[in-house]
Structure 1
């Protein structure tokens, strides 16, 4: 389960940021998970709970925002959100391949919420 190592990486980043806020406590971390990132959101949330046990971040919440796939047609340049990860026929011209992925591959920390 690579989500555990991703949770550990997020933990390291957040711990570094929390050092800049002495006396603050972490309430929530919001992560954006692209549909093509290959990360299972529930597994990442479970991993977060596991890696924060016994740390100053225990009890904080990891919230995952699902980021849909958005592509630009390689033919007519129409931008659209395909309903399927495998079949991405352009609704304008019907082209099925050669699209540019504009969003959906990212995995990123979007925000953190702390109490001073």
Structure 2
């Protein structure tokens, strides 16, 4: 699952970022994911939660923004959504001199820092009969 390597990379980049004064943790990370990037957003969210454990990002929310694949035709200037798998042939002139405009993105766009350190996980609550 390559989403785990993507999640670990996001965590690494955020941890290496310059923190604003007084920042001790991360509340939220915004990521743009292109339709053609080969990343499944739900799988990335699952892996992100695991990758954040024990870091300044523990408990941080991952906010993803999906970007469609877009292409343009050099001869006629038409643009279109490529879909998946991508259709790179112009429907207007059937030309093949096309350019991919978007869809391969995978980038961190925002990090919301917190002045509060991440709260440690209290673990499971004890059973009532165990507290006697």
Shorter-chain TM-score above 0.5? yes
Q: With structure 2 as the length reference, what TM-score do the two structures score?
A: 0.75
Cα gap change, 1:102 to 1:86, in 2 (>3 Å): closer
Correspondence list, 1:81-96, <5 A: 81-93=81-93, 95=94
Q: How many pairs align?
A: 114
Asked whether the equivalents of residues 82 and 88 of structure 2 are also in contact (C-alpha less than 8 Å), the reply is: yes
Distance 2:5 2:84 in 1: 28
Alignment-derived partner of residue 80 in structure 2: 80
Q: With structure 1 as the length reference, what TM-score do the two structures score?
A: 0.84
List alignment gaps of at least 5 residues for structure 1. Answer: none
Alignment-derived partner of residue 68 in structure 1: 68
When Rg is computed on C-alpha atoms for both structures, the one with the higher figure is: 2
RMSD of aligned Cα (Å): 2.0
Distance 2:3 2:92 in 1: 37
List alignment gaps of at least 5 residues for structure 2. Answer: 116-132
Alignment-derived partner of residue 112 in structure 1: 111
